[in-house]
Structure 1
């Protein structure tokens, strides 16, 4: 077993409880102090000596002498879910209490956006993967980033070089470990091009494949791994359901195997893409069954907690008024310009602006806006959702362990 790594200021490690003074359902501001998911790989590259890599997380002193780094992203493991998982995940709970700190994932708090934010080290506005689904500008087509192959071309749609590309160019051996079906996908190329892809399914394969890749050769090494099951069971059955608890126990087993197998000159960084919230049936609107919410719309994208509404010409003000009247305090209904001005996306180049709706609807508290007829039926039957800017959705852990 390995020793704890202190925060950059050398103080007491952050415990596994809620972020001090923040209600899980409180809306976070984009200028919230503290580390960000986008900081993880640049800081890892700084530890490995890649020239020009900043270290916003302050890892270089704590990880002095480390030549190999494994980064594991656990889909759906929000900071606020860790205490819920703790009875079934003692390794996770112990690591969070001793070597954990919270990070802010970014907005929207959804898997494709966060994976590319992690992989590129930049804000969503720059990399352009601005939601779970987005409109392809100039068309009425909605691109689902998790079912994306070669159209639009990944390297054109997401033009920012990845941190794995930077690492490889500097002589670092780079590997990506994820589910076999994700190899060569548009999302994998957008987030992780520059790494040799290795397919792995289940805790045993993921752990073995990551540790094998971490131990190859004598030079600097970076391995990026992904585990999806906790998120899937949260969506299907709810946070703290029996299937979710079993998935949390599997995450714990994965962490224990990775920690126990770390070479002496290696470190493990564990993080996530978002948290999750169970959404009560009474808090669900359906834009496909309410004519007031369909009027004036040309294309609907986004997801249940953050809707991107593309209006017919001249209908933006009417759409804002109608959605504001129907949703009331359940959501904030703003124009694209207003949301971009908040700073959550970072700077957004002209070519990416059209991927954001003319109107952006961000749900408050535990509300959601479904699209029961225009989206796959299962999307309206989920128990837990994410995507908005509450602390429970945006705040993810960073665990730092060295061998």
Structure 2
């Protein structure tokens, strides 16, 4: 990620100034420093098994005649199509898309087709971040099973924080995520499968464990990707094509969604989607979706809790994982309960704060969390509820300077489209 050119951070509120923890949202009826902690049971939970990103590809390949894949039973269905293309736009949340019909007239015209004509969005998974979501899309598994539970997460074997987008420090990809992808299973079933994306993604660990299967075609421009995706879609009787565009997310991070740069990117995405739709071969279905949405975090002390400058938030925390909108807190031994209590009090109405046991029991990471994944989740998990974030201006200066952020459970971040065009 790249720091936003216009974002501003500060040294953060002092412990003696509890009122400084207010967000940039309109003032609530109860003074912010008197807000009761949010009950983690009220946090929205992704619709795992009947309407999440993990359910998309199993439903697609089921419609292509692939028998039900072991371990991927889902209640989500789509109308069958011999040829299917998934166009994933990084950062294009449902709420943001619906709020910008002028910038995206073609995509807006398809809103009623979402989720098999129900007009409803999908949910991503939790957290609503790229590495987690792409792993869910590609494997058909929720985060508690595929094992990528956030932007950064602790490796229980080494104690180090592992960046699951950049794959740093190096970790064996197939030990971290051992399950085959849906693309691999589809290719084994005789479906002509490929990915069309930017060339530099071909050999990344995330591509290998989440999106591999069939052939990879690297193309630099969005237009080239759309044209090649349409060509490959018609190259066999049964095809599965995945293509991806990242720059909408990047502009949202740097400049915010209330920027000309973000709106210009949405206009470009709209043209790309229409270009692909107009080239679909017979018996084809195009699905336009996203990995997450986004919120703009105000550049104020009241909206940016600074972990590096707030002794209350940092006390008892050995490592701070996740990202600004969703934090994994790895406590020093014996301090987890105290960390949960303090974070609930300091963040009050700004976050759902749960212990690992609570988050797992509530299904935040899916209906089942495998033992190998459990300790990758923080001892305490904090998901922001409004437009605030927990930044770390000294240890994470680039990420802390971003304007647009994501990762939490709010509708703006969780809800994504599944728009459909058929021939």
TM-score by length of 2: 0.84
Q: Check 1:32–1:162 CA distance in 2 against 1; reply closer, same or farther (3 A cut).
A: closer
Q: Distance in 1 between matches of 2:268 and 2:391?
A: 31
Question: Aligned ranges for residues 1-400 of structure 1 at < 5 Å?
Answer: 27-30=43-46, 35-53=51-69, 56-60=75-79, 63=80, 66-98=81-113, 100-148=119-167, 151-216=170-235, 218-280=236-298, 281=300, 282-346=302-366, 347-375=368-396, 377-400=397-420
The equivalent residue for 1:402 is 422
Out of 348-357 and 137-146, give the one that drifted further: 137-146
- How far does residue 189 in structure 1 lie from its aligned partner after superposition? 1.2
Distance 1:353 1:104 in 2: 22
The count of corresponding residues between Structure 1 and Structure 2 is 372
Q: Which runs of 5+ in 1 are unaligned?
A: 1-25
Shift of 1:138: 2.8
After superposition, the Cα gap between the structure-2 partners of 1:32 and 1:207, relative to the gap in structure 1 and judged at 3 Å, is closer
CA displacement 1:134-159 (0-9 Å, x = unmatched):
11113232111121279311111111
TM-score of the superposition, structure 1-length normalised?
0.88
Structure 2 Cα separation of the partners of residues 205 and 397 of structure 1: 23
Instruction: Give secondary structure in 1 for the equivalent of 2:309.
Output: coil
Structure 1 partner of 2:38: none
**Shift of residue 128 of structure 1?**
0.2
- Distance change (3 Å), C-alpha of 1:310 and 1:55: closer
- Runs of 4+ more than 4 Å apart: 30-34
Q: Is the 8 A contact 2:46 2:52 kept in 1?
A: no
Q: Deviations over 1:163-185 (max 9, x none)?
A: 00110110111101122111111
- In structure 2, the CA distance between the partners of 1:33 and 1:143, relative to structure 1 (3 Å rule), is closer
Q: Give me the whole-angstrom Cα distance separating, in 1, the residues matched to 2:167 and 2:113.
A: 39
CA distance 1:101–1:317, change in 2 (3 Å): closer
What value does the CA root-mean-square deviation take over the aligned residues? 1.8
Gaps of 5+ in 2: 1-41
Q: Is the 8 Å Cα contact of residues 305 and 367 (structure 1) preserved in structure 2?
A: yes
TM-aligned CA distance change 1:385 to 1:97, over 3 Å: same
Counterpart CA distance in 1 for 2:360 and 2:74 is 27
